[in-house]
A and B are shown apart, each in its own frame.
Chain A
Amino acid sequence: MFKHHPTLKFIWDRGIWYVLTFLVAITINFFLPRFGSDPIELIMSKQKGLNSEQAREKKASYMREFGLVEVLTTATTEDGGMLMAPDGSPVTFEQLKAKNLLTVNERKTFWISGVTVTDPLALKLSLLKIIANGKKINGFDPTDSSVINPETFAESIKDALTLDEIKSLAGITFKTNSKLVYSLKADELSKAFGGPVTMVNGEEANVVKQNGALKFFDNGDENVAPALIKQGTAIDSQAVNITVKEQVQYALEKTSKGVTLSPIRSPLVKQYLLYMMMTLRGDLGTSFVKYPEKVNTLVMQTLGWSIGLQLPSIVIGWFIGNLLGALAAYKRGLFDKVLFPVALFLNSFPFFAFGMILIYVFAGILPIFPSSGGYANDVVPGFTVAFILSVAYCYVLPFMSIFPIFASGQATGMRTMGIYELGTSYVKYAKTLGIKENKILMYIFRNAVLPQLTGLALMLGSMIGGALITEMIFSYPGLGMALLTATTNNDYPMIQGSSLLICITVLIANFSVDVLIGFFDPRVKAGMSGV
C-alpha cells in the first residue's frame, strides 16, 4: 500500500501498530474488571433501602451501562412488568409489529416535559395572537404583565393548546414527548405466540387475558424516559396497558416466593463486542456512583483542572529546563558545578514526596498557602475575580511540586546532550572553518534539542495521567482525584473510562512523536524514504 508515497506509507506503517495497541488496550480494559469479584454485585451491595422491584431496575440499569446485557425494545406494562412469551423469552415490540398484533389507535397523547422561557415578550405576543383566535389559557392573563411561571405554564398550555399551536409559540423552548397508541387484543396475542403470554410484574406472573393498549413513546428527551412511563394515560381501565421501552433482557426464574426476573447476561464475546462498539463510538459508559451521569461528562469536568495544572508546568519547565541545561553545557565552570548537582538531586526526587514536603513547610509550618483543593470553599465557581484569584492561590503549591522536578529533568538531559554535541566532529570542523560562534551554538542547540522535543511530546501525551498522585496529595479536582474517588467507590465505568483516556492520549502523543521526528530530523527522514 502507498508504494509511491513514502511519507504516507511511513505514517500508515506506524499508525497500524498504534491502532492495534489501542485495541489491545481496550481489550485489557474490558477484561480486567471481569477478573475477581463482580463489579455489579459490589455496587449493588452498597445500595440500601430499595424494594425488590427498584433493586431489579437498578441492577438492570447498572448491567446495561456496564455492557453486560443485551438491550431489547420490549413490551412492558406501565408499572414495569413485562410480557413473556410461552417459551420464557421477553416479547419485543418488533415481534408484536411483525405478527400484526397492533392496530393503530387514532389518539395521540402529547406532553411537555420541560419549559424554558427565552424571550418573555415574544412569548406574550404569540400567546396573545392565539387568544385573539378565541382560545382560553388557564394561568395566563393577557392584562397581567407578571412573569410567566414555567412550571404551571407548561401544564396549562398542554391542556389548552394543540400540538401545532404550541409549536408555533415564540420565545420559548420545550422538551416535548408524544406517544402513539396501539391497541392489542389478548386472544390474538396468545394465538400468535402459540400459547399463553404471561405478564410478569413484581413477584407475580399472570396470563394476559384482557385486551389492552400499547403506547409507543416518541421520546424527545432520553433522560426522562423512566418518569414518562408513569405519565402514560390509560385508555381502557379494564385493559392491560403496555408501553414500549428499551429494556435489558430478563429471564423468568421461579423462586420459593413466586417468580423473579433476572437479567440475562450476554455471552462474553457479545459483551466484548458491545464494549468495543461503545468505546469506538466515544461512549465511555455511565458512572455507577453518580448515576445517571455519563463518564464522558464527568471526565470532561475534571480534565480542565488536570490540564491546567500540568500543561504550564510541562511547557514552562521544558523551556526553562532546556535553557538552563544548554547554558550549563556551554558555559561549564561554576554555573554548571552548581546547577548540575541541584538538578540531579531534584530530578531524582519523587514529585509526590516533594509535594508532601511543600505541604508540610508552606501549609503546615508556615501557613502561607492552602494545602488542598483547587479553589477555596467559600467561593462559587464562575468567571469572577474572586474565583480566579482563589484558583491562582491554590495553584501555587501543586505547580511548584511538579515544575522544578520536571525542569531539572530537562536540564540534566539537555546538559548531557549539549556536552555530547559540543564534542562531535561536526562542531570541531565548523570551528576550523571559522564559522561564527553563535551559528555553531545554534547547530548544537538544534541537534541537542531533537531528543528533548520527543520528551516534550511524550510528556504532553502523559499530561492527563501524569500528575495523578500530585492531585491526590493536594486534593486537586482533576482526573487523578476523580480516579481515586472512583477507585474507592468501585465505580468501574469511571475507572475504565479515565484509564482508557490516559491510554489514548499517551498513544496519540507517541504516534505524533514517531511521525513528527521524521520531519524534524533529516537522518530519520532519509531512513524513511529509503535513500
Chain B
Amino acid sequence: MSLWKRACLYSMRKRGKTITLFMFLLIMATLMLICLSIRSAAEIANANIKKALLGYFTVNAKQLDSGITEDMLGQILAIDGLSGKYTLRSYSYANYFDAERNPLEINTGSVTQIPEKYANAGKLVANSNTESDSYFIDAGFELTEGIAITSEQKNVVLLHEKFAERNGLSVGDRMFLGDVSDKSRAISVQVAGLFTNTKEQEAMEITPMYDLYDNIVFTDPATASYLLYGTEGETSVQYGDFYVNDPDNLEQVMAQVQEIKGVEWDECILTRYAKDYQNAKTSLAGLQNIVFIAIAIVSIISFLVLVLFLTLRLRGRIHETGIYLAMGVSKCTVLMQYLAEVFLVAAVALLMSYGTSAAISNQIGSTLLSQVTTDTYETTDLTGVTETIKETLIDLGLSEIKVSVSGKDYLAIWLFGMALCLGSTALAAYPIMKMKPKNTLSQMS
C-alpha cells in the first residue's frame, strides 16, 4: 500500500482526529493572518497620527528678487516625504481704487500724519487658502459674506465689512489694486467676500493705519505676485509652508530642499514647525511599542502552541508506529506518511484560512475603525446663552486604514506553516523512530 493511500485512509478513518487537527491548524493560521493584517493596519494608523500632527517647514524667500517661483515650487513638491499639502503666502501693501480708478477711503484711525503714498493704502495679504491665514486662525477674523479665497481663484479679494460699507462695495463688485512703489502696476479684482474681526485690535494708538484691521485686504497669490514681482500668467510667492508625511523626516526633507540648484538659499530662511509632534513623540512611540509587543507575543506563543500540539498528537501513535516497523515498513516511509497526513490537512486549512481571516479583517476594518480620510472637526463655540457649533471640513489627506490580508503575508504563512508542520512532526517522531519495534510495542498504552 502506498504511503499516500495509507495517509488518506488514516485521515478518513480517524475522522474525529482529522477534524480536530484541521480546526486547530485553521484557527492558528487565521490568528496569524489576522495578526499580520492588524500589524499593517496599525502601521497605517501610526503614519496617520504622525501626518495629522502636521509637521511642516516654512521657506521664507522674501529676500529673493523673484521669491518662490513656480519652477522652484515644482522642484520642492517633487521631493519625497511631502504630504502634498502646502500653503503659499505673500504680504505687501496696495493702494485701493474703485472700478473707475478713483481712490477708496480707508480708516485713518487716530493718526494725524498720513504717510505719503499710503493715503488710500492698506496691508495686502495673499494666501493660497485664506481660511488658514493667521488673521483668521489667531486674530479672530471671520467671513461674514461670500467665500474664502483658494489658489484656484484669480483676481479676487476679501474686504473688511467696514471698509466695504464705507466705500459702498459689496460681493461681486470690481475694484483696482495698485502697488505702493513707483512701478505703477494696477490690477482689476473682484470682491469675493467680506470679513469682520471678532476681537478688538490691540494698541490701536501705535498701529500704523495701513495695518488697521479695517484696511486689510486678502487676495490670491497670483494677484499679489503681479503687484510684487510683475509676473503675468505665473505666480511667485514670498513664503511657502510645506507639510510632511512623517515629522521625523522633517530635517532630511529640509536638507533636500536646500540642495535645489539655482536658488540662493543663503538668502532664505527655513524654519521647522513640529511642536505638536515633539509633544506627542514619546507617547506615540510608547503606543507603537505596545502594538509591537502585542503582535510579537501573539506570534511567538501561537508558534509554541502549534509545535506542542503537533507533538502531543503524534505521541498517541507510538503503538501504530511499532506495528509498521515490525511489518517491515521503513522508518522513512512511516515518517513520510505522518507528514503526508499533516500536509494534507494543513493545505486545506491554509486555503480556508484566507477566507476566514479576510472575513474577520473586513469586519474589523468596516465596523470598528473610523475610516475617515477627510477628517471633520468641530469648533465648538460655547457661550452662556446660546450654543453654536460650526463645522470645518479639513482634508488632512490621511490614508484609509485597510485591515486586509496581503498576498505577501499569505505566502509567508504558507511557507511558515508548512515548515512548522514538517519541523514539529519530524521532531515529535524522532524519539519514536529511534526505538526498536519491540521497545515501541512493549510501551503500549
Partners in one complex: no
Residues of B within 8 A of A (CB): none
Residues of A within 8 A of B (CB): none
